[in-house]
Amino acid sequence: MNNQPLAERLRPQTLDQYIGQEHLVGKNGVFRRFMETGNVPSFILWGPPGVGKTTLARLVANSLKRPFYTLSAVAAGVKDVREAIESARKQQFFNTPSPFLFIDEIHRFNKSQQDSLLGAVEQGVITLIGATTENPSFEVISPLLSRCQVYVLKPMDDGELKILLDRAVTTDSELLERGVEVVETEALFKFSGGDARKLLNILDILAASTDGKIIISDATVTDALQQNIALYDKNGEQHYDVISAFIKSVRGSDPNAAIYYLARMLAGGEEPRFIARRLAILASEDIGLANPNALLIANAAFDIVHKIGMPEARIALAEATIYLANSPKSNASYMAIERAMGLVGKDTTNRPVPLHIRNAPTKLMKDLDYHKGYKYAHDFEGGFADLEFMPEGLEGTRFYEPNLENPAEAKYAERIAKLWRGKY
């Protein structure tokens, strides 16, 4: 019996075997061009677990037959980085492309570790490939980020998971020997959550928990995972099901459930900064103007997590979680920007800003009536002057709909109605 996991046995060896990320690896995708031209910049692959970040990096290096050094940010320190760079430097010859240095989970590198990469990237000693499940804007230092292209990888959809499943059951020698009957796939795809590695790990669990023919059905998948929950959670890596339950519990104003899921994430090794970011987003998206202090509390927790770290950071996370769960809820700000972005995204009219609210720093602008007719709000009673601020054609368009069930926003609605006399 082969002890190698199914995910390793099925790892693609060519770009044509790679499933998903059509926007990157498709006919006109940038990775096709990399392999055709050999011109590869330093880049960062950002996406959830199990979507092929490591595989894609290896395919590029193998296709171009260039040395490929790899480090895991979980275990590597500055010394390891310098040793890898020195090894790459020794591989350099006249007019030869630089070796690749692949850093998995680059978001876990601190500033000094990332600083140690800068010189080698700038001098072309290495071509850096980073992989991260976290937003590089938050986790990668600006000087390094500015020298890298960022490519976003998406979770697999059910169609792509189906292709992967079909390939597994029709090409893997061990599965062919056992025999696989696919009765239904809803539970398999649901538990996989767009993660290819999760799907293949579930197949491994099914194979290990049964004898003879492997039956894939909603019942067999659910039963196998319940019996092997520790193994499944471990392979889940980012515990997306638990973070979803955590967010929904806070949104649903249940502090006890929220604290329970917070404890599960921390016990499972979840990155505290990831949790802190989710709380900050939640404070804006789900609480908003119903309690503006929620964003201040969430931001303070985010700051404390960065400054102090675990285990003490758990206390600040718990305080912010309970506060946000107990806060009144409103998504009015979130909906307002969604409506405005929706309009801007499809509005093909280049709407000029009204002349009276443009600045006029030069005589020419003044002659063109820039700023003419502008009323300085503080010169008027109540600090309000009745002016039109919207571009022509959008007068009276309403994006912000206050949540009248919250006292704070009810006051905003009352003020808007009083000032604008029914315009909004």
How large is the average pLDDT for residues 128-132?
A: 92
- Over residues 46-59, the pLDDT tens digits come to 988 888 999 999 99
Q: Is residue 336 part of a domain?
A: no
pLDDT in tens, 213-268: 999 999 998 888 776 554 444 444 445 678 888 999 999 898 898 998 898 888 77
Q: What amino acid occupies position 412?
A: Y
How far is residue 356's CA from residue 349's CA, in Å, rounded to a whole number?
Answer: 20
Per-residue pLDDT of 14-30, as tens digits, reads: 888 999 999 999 888 89
Average pLDDT, integer, range 278-294: 92
Q: What is the pLDDT of residues 63-80, one digit of tens each?
A: 998 889 988 887 777 888
Burial class (CB within 10 angstroms; exposed 0-12, middle 13-18, buried 19+) of 8? exposed
Q: What CATH number is given to the structural domain containing 164?
A: 1.10.8
State which of 201, 219, 236 marks the end of a domain: 236
Last residue of a domain, one of 152, 185, 220: 152
- Tell me how far apart the alpha carbons of residues 335 and 355 are, in angstroms, rounded to a whole number: 29
Q: Which residues contact 309 (CB under 8 A, 6 or more apart)?
A: 272
Evaluate whether residue 195 is within a structural domain.
yes
State yes or no: pLDDT of 133 exceeds 90: no
Give the range of the structural domain holding residue 361, as residue numbers without chain letter. Answer: 350-420
The identity of residue 124, as a single letter, is G
| In a shared domain, residues 145 and 165 | no
Residues 26 and 138 in one domain: yes
Alpha-carbon torsion 45, 51, 54, 55, what sign?
Answer: negative
pLDDT band at 403 (very low <50, low <70, confident <90, very high): confident
Which among 46, 62, 76, 67 is positioned nearest to 11, based on CA atoms?
62
pLDDT above 70: residue 108: yes
Q: Determine how β-strand 180-182 pairs with β-strand 214-216.
A: parallel
Length of the chain: 424
101-117 average pLDDT score: 87
Residue 338 has pLDDT above 80, yes or no: yes
Give the CATH number for residue 125. Answer: 3.40.50.300
pLDDT band at 389 (very low <50, low <70, confident <90, very high): confident
- Please say whether the beta carbons of 314 and 266 come within 8 A: yes
Q: What is the pLDDT of residue 227?
A: 62
Q: How far apart are CA 177 and CA 225, in angstroms?
A: 23
Q: Is 8 a member of any domain?
A: no
Whether residue 115 is found in the same domain as residue 162: no
Tell me how many domains the chain contains.
Answer: 4
Work out the pLDDT band at 94, boundaries 50, 70, 90: low
Question: 152, 185, 215 — which closes off a domain?
Answer: 152
Task: Note the Cα 249 to chain centre separation in Å.
Answer: 21
Report pLDDT for 237.
45
Same-domain check for residues 137 and 163: no
